[in-house]
Amino acid sequence: MSTGVPRFGARLAEAIARHGRLCVGIDPHPHLLQAWGLNDDVSGLREFGSRVLEAAMGRVGVIKPQVAFFERRGPAGLAVLAELQQEARREGLLVIADAKRGDIGSTMAGYADAWLAPEAELAADALTVSPYLGFGSLRPALEVARRHGAGLFVLALTSNPEGREVQLARTEDGTVASRIAAQAAAENPAPQIDGALGDVGLVVGATTAGLAEEAGVDLTAGAMPLLAPGFGAQGATAEDLRTGFAEAHRQVVVNSSRGILAAGPDVAALTAAVRRTAEELAD
């Protein structure tokens, strides 16, 4: 690694220890902008992101902007996202850019540079990536992340029903999900201290974690950080998380988007929703 930045897994473990495992999603969906009385334009994006960030600062350690809702407004929308991520990181929050990038060769390296290189305008602490061109296609992103002390979350057992036809498909070496998970785990060195987390993790839906055993996925391998969307509005409860992730529960970062964002547009109400959700998830 060429930078002096502590690696992502160490920073994430510290954030969880300090603030708990809640990750606040920032998803300025058009219907939410309308519900908040904001314009579906760049000014609406900026105001939406600012309010959510204000509610999150000092109360959680991680945010996850959904890139698509900024990208739909073109370069100006991405500029708002860059401002939001930069401010969040200045305030000590970790940023997981939910872009689900996946490609091959120099193209994958280009995506990784755009989202993980520290000098990039869109620099985040971690990026969600898709391995469905083959896990080896992620190699350029793995190299960029390692070089800059950043993290990757690899799609593995996602909560969308369509995902199962691919992720639970069986090969001679097990399910597709189990092979992806094993290869991701292998990217993390053996932890040297108790409670350490790796830099390469998985996206495992809060509602699908219970499928891990059936799919042959060892969620504890490699101390992988596990990003779990689907809490709250999508149906998963804190007890579901404890049961579904079982021994891997300590590795889980729980994303809540709609469940918190529905409390807007008032910042005080958003703040109360953040606090309430964090308390639900407290170990």
Q: What is the pLDDT of residues 15-50, one digit of tens each?
A: 999 999 999 999 999 999 999 999 999 999 999 999
Q: What is the mean pLDDT of residues 158-167?
A: 92
Q: Is the pLDDT of residue 205 over 70?
A: yes
Tokens coding 87: 């401010």
State the chain's mean pLDDT as an integer. Answer: 94
The CA distance from 246 to 150, in Å, is 27
The CA distance from 257 to 262, in Å, is 8
C-alpha angle 28-145-136 in degrees, rounded to nearest 5? 100
The phi and psi torsions of 214 (rounded to 5 degrees) equal -60, -35
pLDDT score for 191: 64
Q: Please confirm, yes or no, whether 64 is among the known catalytic residues.
A: no
Query: Residue 205 CA to chain centroid, in angstroms?
Result: 11
Nearest by Cα to 126 from 115, 142, 139: 115
Contacts of 96 (CB under 8 A, 6+ apart): 23, 62, 63, 64, 124, 125, 126, 127, 128, 151, 153, 227
Q: Does domain 8-281 have CATH number 3.20.20.70?
A: yes
Give the SS3 label for residue 174. Answer: strand
- Residue in this structure with the two tokens 């969906």, named with its chain if needed: 29
Give the SS3 label for residue 256. Answer: strand
Q: Quickly state the pLDDT bin for 192 (edges 50, 70, 90).
A: low
Catalytic residue among 29, 100, 164, 258: 100
CB-based contact 131:158 (threshold 8 Å):
no
pLDDT score for 233: 66
Q: Quickly state the pLDDT bin for 92 (edges 50, 70, 90).
A: very high
Q: What is the mean pLDDT of residues 226-244?
A: 86
Beta strand ranges found along 66-188 (DSSP E) = 94-101, 126-129, 151-157, 170-171, 174-175
pTM of the model: 0.96
pLDDT score for 212: 94
pLDDT score for 3: 57
CB-based contact 155:130 (threshold 8 Å):
yes
Q: What is the pLDDT of residues 51-88, one digit of tens each?
A: 999 999 999 999 999 999 999 999 999 999 999 999 99
Q: Quickly state the pLDDT bin for 2 (edges 50, 70, 90).
A: very low
Q: Is 28 exposed, middle or buried (0-12, 13-18, 19+ CB in 10 A)?
A: buried
Q: For the chain, give every domain's residue range.
A: 8-281
Q: What is the mean pLDDT of residues 222-233?
A: 90
- Residue in this structure with the two tokens 């950043």, named with its chain if needed: 150
Residues above pLDDT 70, as percent of the chain: 96
